[in-house]
């Protein structure tokens, strides 16, 4: 015999973190940051066929101060990296980054001096989306997976502790330049 049985019908029990997570995930406002061919697919996902408005993302924001999700679509040049970081810094908290396409994730086929080999060298990335270019369905799937992450995000002191644990784990991680394939 729990408290649920004693409450009248129509009463919902949840936590503040649960409600805040639900509201955050249902109201992403993405910033426009299309750099290459992936941007065409990003724009297509906002069109009537795929309709990102179903997920509370009606308009891609031109101002970073109105956005909380940055979709980096395409390759990032070394000249563009400081601009990308400035736009990220101007975004309101909490902010999330989705690296769209293999060029944004790892530099793609452009392994040269002019292209940043992964946007995670410039801004922290929450979700990587592979593909060259990824289809709009893949972008919507990645956004829905990011919704799940956002809904599970903690608040206040709990969030600060979670961030500290993630940063400690990242500092202890082996650099990718030292990683080797699996030995069998």
- 122 is an annotated ligand-binding site residue: no
- 103 is an annotated ligand-binding site residue: yes
- 60 is an annotated ligand-binding site residue: no
Number of H helices and E strands in the chain, helices first, is 7, 4
Give, for 170, the enclosing helix (H) or strand (E).
Answer: helix 156-172
**Among candidate residues 59, 73, 63, 64, the one with its CA nearest the CA of residue 27:** 59
- 41 is an annotated ligand-binding site residue: no
**Among candidate residues 5, 54, 7, 10, the one with its CA nearest the CA of residue 28:** 54
d(CA 45, CA 143) in angstroms, rounded, equals 11
Structure tokens at 136: 């709009």
d(CA 35, CA 128) in angstroms, rounded, equals 16
Binding residues, by number, are 37-38, 103, 132
Binding residues for [4Fe-4S] cluster: 37-38, 103, 132
């Amino acid at each position: 015999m729990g408290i649920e049985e004693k409450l009248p019908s129509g009463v919902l029990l949840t936590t503040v973190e649960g409600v805040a997570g639900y509201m955050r995930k249902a109201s992403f406002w993405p910033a426009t940051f299309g750099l290459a061919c992936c941007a065409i697919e990003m724009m297509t996902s906002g069109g009537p066929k795929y309709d990102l408005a179903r997920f509370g993302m009606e308009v891609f924001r031109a101002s970073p101060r109105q956005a909380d999700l940055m979709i980096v679509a395409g390759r990032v040049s070394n000249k563009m990296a400081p601009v990308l970081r400035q736009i990220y810094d101007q975004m309101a908290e909490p902010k999330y980054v989705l690296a769209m396409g293999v060029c944004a994730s790892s530099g793609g086929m452009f392994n040269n001096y002019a292209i940043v080999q992964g946007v995670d060298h410039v801004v922290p990335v929450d979700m990587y989306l592979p593909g060259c270019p990824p289809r709009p369905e893949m972008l919507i799937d990645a956004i829905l997976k990011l919704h799940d992450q956002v809904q599970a995000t903690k608040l206040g002191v709990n969030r600060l502790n979670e961030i500290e644990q993630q940063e400690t784990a990242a500092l202890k991680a082996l650099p990718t330049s030292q990683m080797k394939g699996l030995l069998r």
